[in-house]
Amino acid sequence: MFGFIGLGQMGLPIALNLLESGRGPVRVHNRTASKAAKLIEKGATLAASPAEVAAPGGIVFTMLSDDRAVEDVVLGEDGILQRLGPEGVHVSMSTIGPATARRLAELHEQRACAYLAAPVFGRPDAAAARKLWICLSGAPGAKARVEPILRHLGQGVFDFGEDAGAAHVAKLAGNFLIGAAMEAIAEAVVLVEKSGVDRVKVIDMLADTLFNCPVYRNYGKAIAADRAAPVGFKLALGRKDLELVLQAAGAVQTPMPLADLVRDRLLAGLAKGRAEMDWSMLSLGAAEDAGLKPAAARRE
C-alpha cells in the first residue's frame, strides 16, 4: 500500500507516475480534494485526512510546500506518524530545512518507522516525464525498500548517506546555485540590452557554448526572452528556499553573501506582488535597477 500527500504542480505528476507503475493500491490526500480527481479516475482512493493515507508498515510520499506543512501532516492530530507503525516509511520529497528533517527522523525512529529525505530537482514537466533527479538520505533498510520506486519516478537517484538532513542540504545547495545563476543571467542580459546588443542572441550563444547546461539553457533563455510563463516554480517558494539556505548556513557558521543578495532580490519581487510568478522573474528586479521596463513588467 502506498500513500501520497500533496497534489500540487509537482506532487500530482509524481503521484500519477506512482499510480501508473502498477506497484500496488494508492491512497491520496490533498487539502483541495478536487485536485485528486485525475488520480481517482485512474484508480486511486481519496483519503479524508493524512492519517487515512498511511497503512501500518506502508510507504507514504509527501510533496508539500514548506517545513510547517510537512510537520502538520506528520505530527498533527490526523498526522501520518500515528498510523505508519513499525516498518512504515515516510518519503519526504519536499524542500525543507535539514534541522526539521533530522527532528522528524528522530520522531519516526521512536515509532520504529523511518523518515527518508528524497527532495528532487526538476520542474513539473520533468516530473511528468519521470526525468527528476532525486537526492536521498536516511536509514539503509528503508532506502533499499524505496529506491527502486524512486528510480521509476526519476532519471537518477543520488545517495547522501544515513543523515536525514544530508539530502536536504544537497537540495538547498542546488537551489542556491540556480538562484545565483539566474541573478547572474539577469544582470548580464541587462548589460547586453543597455549596450544595444540583441539579448536573445547573446544568451542563445552562451547557452549553446560556454554555459551549455540545463540552468543556462532553460532559465537563461526564459530570462532573455522575458518569458513569464509557464510558472514551474513560484517566486514565493524560491524566496522560502533561499531563507532555508541562509538558515542552514547560519547553523554551520558559513557566510553566504551571494545567497543574501538572491534572497533579497526574491523578497523585493514579493513586495512588488510577484509571488505567483515563476521565480526566474527575479530578473525583473535587475532590469528595474537599470531603468528598464521589460515586457513582463508591463503585463503586471
171 is catalytic: yes
Residues 14-43 have pLDDT tens digits of 999 999 988 878 999 998 989 999 999 999
Name the band, by pLDDT with cuts 50, 70 and 90, for residue 123. very high
- In three-state form (DSSP H/G/I as H, E/B as E, the rest C), the secondary structure along the chain is CEEEECCCCCHHHHHHHHHHCCCCCEEEECCCHHHHHHHHHCCCEECCCHHHHCCCCCEEEECCCCHHHHHHHHHCCCCCHHHHCCCCEEEECCCCCHHHHHHHHHHHHHCCCEEEECCEECCHHHHHCCCEEEEEECCHHHHHHHHHHHHHHEEEEEECCCCCCHHHHHHHHHHHHHHHHHHHHHHHHHHHHHCCCCHHHHHHHHHHCCCCCHHHHHHHHHHHCCCCCCCCCEHHHHHHHHHHHHHHHHHCCCCCHHHHHHHHHHHHHHHCCCCCCEHHHHHHHHHHHCCCCCHHHHHC
pLDDT at residue 82 tops 70? yes
* Residues forming beta bridges with residue 115, ordered by sequence position: 90
In angstroms, the CA 46 to CA 48 distance is 7
Question: What pLDDT does residue 299 have?
Answer: 44
Give CATH 3.40.50.720 domain extents, the chain: 2-163
Name the band, by pLDDT with cuts 50, 70 and 90, for residue 198. very high
pLDDT at residue 297 tops 80? no
Question: What pLDDT does residue 230 have?
Answer: 87
Question: What pLDDT does residue 24 have?
Answer: 79
Give CATH 1.10.1040.10 domain extents, the chain: 169-299
pLDDT at residue 298 tops 70? no
**Mean pLDDT, the chain, whole residue set:** 94
Q: How many residues does the chain have?
A: 300
Residues 55-70 have pLDDT tens digits of 999 999 999 999 999 9
Closest CA to 300 of 281, 289, 267, 290: 281
Question: What pLDDT does residue 296 have?
Answer: 47
Domain 2-163 has CATH 3.30.499.10: no
Q: Which of 38, 131, 171, 293 is catalytic?
A: 171
pLDDT at residue 186 tops 70? yes
Average pLDDT over residues 104-126: 97
Average pLDDT over residues 241-264: 98
Percent of the chain with pLDDT over 90: 92
Average pLDDT over residues 92-101: 98
Question: According to CATH, what is the number of the domain 169-299?
Answer: 1.10.1040.10
In angstroms, the CA 121 to CA 31 distance is 24
Residues 278-291 have pLDDT tens digits of 999 999 999 999 99
Name the band, by pLDDT with cuts 50, 70 and 90, for residue 229. confident
Write down the residue that cell numbers 504542480 correspond to: 9
- Mean pLDDT lowest among 107-111, 129-133, 223-227: 223-227
